[in-house]
Amino acid sequence: MARFRIQSAVPPCGKFFFEFDGEYVESVNRAELCELARGLYRKRGRVPPVDIFGVVMEHMCRTLPDGFCTEPSGPPLLDVAKVKSNTAAMFGSRIANPVVVRERLHVCMACPMNDRASCPSCSGLLEWVLAGMGGRTRIPADDFVYVCRPALAFASALATVDNPGPAPDGCPDSCWRRNL
C-alpha cells in the first residue's frame, strides 16, 4: 500500500482528500478528513477500514507528485501528459470576456465531470494555464475547477478560450459548451 514518505506530511496542495463511491470529501485537517472518510463508509452502510488514513493515502498517492509517496498506488486517475497537451493547444487562442469566463467557471464548479481528484496546486498546472492564457488574472472560481474529464483539459483554460469547440462526448447536458 502506498504511503506518504513522511507520515506527518501535509500534501503539497495543502489539503487531504478522499473519494468513495462517487462522493468526494476534503479537509486541511488530517483527523477531520479521516472522520469524513469514515462517514462516507457509514453513509453507505459499510464498516470503515481500521486504517482509514492508510486508505486515504492510497487514494491520494494516485495524484500527488512523484516522490511524495513511497510508491505509486496504481494507475493515475488522469493522463497528465494528455491534459497538458490538450490545454497547451489552447494557448494563444482568442480570450472570452471576463464576465463570460467567470460564468463558465461557475458552471464547471458544479459539474460532475470536474475531476476534483487531481491536485492542480500541487502540480503548478493552474499557474501554467493562466500564464499560457495571456496571463489572465486568477479569479476565485479557478481554485474550484480542475480538469474537465471529457475534454481532458484544464477547465480554467477551456472557460477562458472564446470558442473551445463543441462539447465532447461525456459532457453533461448542463455543460456551457453545449450552449455555444
User: pLDDT tens, 108-160?
Assistant: 988 888 876 665 655 677 888 889 988 788 888 887 788 898 999 999 999 99
Of 41-55, 91-105, 134-148, least confident by mean pLDDT is 134-148
Could you tell me which of 19, 24, 90, 118 has the C-alpha nearest to residue 59? 19
**Could you identify the residue written with the cell 501554467?**
128
Question: Of 29, 54, 76, which one is at a domain's C-terminal end?
Answer: 76
Indicate whether 107 and 152 sit together in one domain. Answer: yes
Question: Of 19, 47, 76, which one is at a domain's C-terminal end?
Answer: 76
Q: Which residues contact 22 (CB under 8 A, 6 or more apart)?
A: none
Indicate whether 69 and 86 sit together in one domain. Answer: no
Sign of the C-alpha dihedral, residues 134, 148, 72, 18?
A: positive
* Total domains, the chain: 2
Indicate whether 92 and 174 sit together in one domain. Answer: yes
Question: Of 76, 98, 127, which one is at a domain's C-terminal end?
Answer: 76
Indicate whether 91 and 167 sit together in one domain. Answer: yes
Indicate whether 37 and 108 sit together in one domain. Answer: no
Indicate whether 60 and 103 sit together in one domain. Answer: no
Indicate whether 71 and 84 sit together in one domain. Answer: no
**Could you identify the residue written with the cell 472564446?**
162
pTM: 0.59
Q: Report the b/e string of 158-168 with b at 16+ CB within 10 A.
A: bbbbeebeebb
Q: CA-to-CA distance for 18 and 52, rounded, in angstroms?
A: 10
Q: Report the b/e string of 120-152 with b at 16+ CB within 10 A.
A: bbbbebbebbbebbeebeeeebbeebbbbbbbb
pLDDT at position 114:
83
Indicate whether 64 and 152 sit together in one domain. Answer: no
Indicate whether 29 and 63 sit together in one domain. Answer: yes
Indicate whether 50 and 100 sit together in one domain. Answer: no
Indicate whether 38 and 50 sit together in one domain. Answer: yes
pLDDT at position 1:
67
Measuring CA to CA, how many Å separate 63 from each of 56, 71, 80? 12, 12, 10
Structural domain containing residue 160: 80-179
Q: Using one digit for the tens of pLDDT, what is the confidence trace for 14-41?
A: 889 888 877 888 899 999 999 999 999 9
Give the chain's length: 180
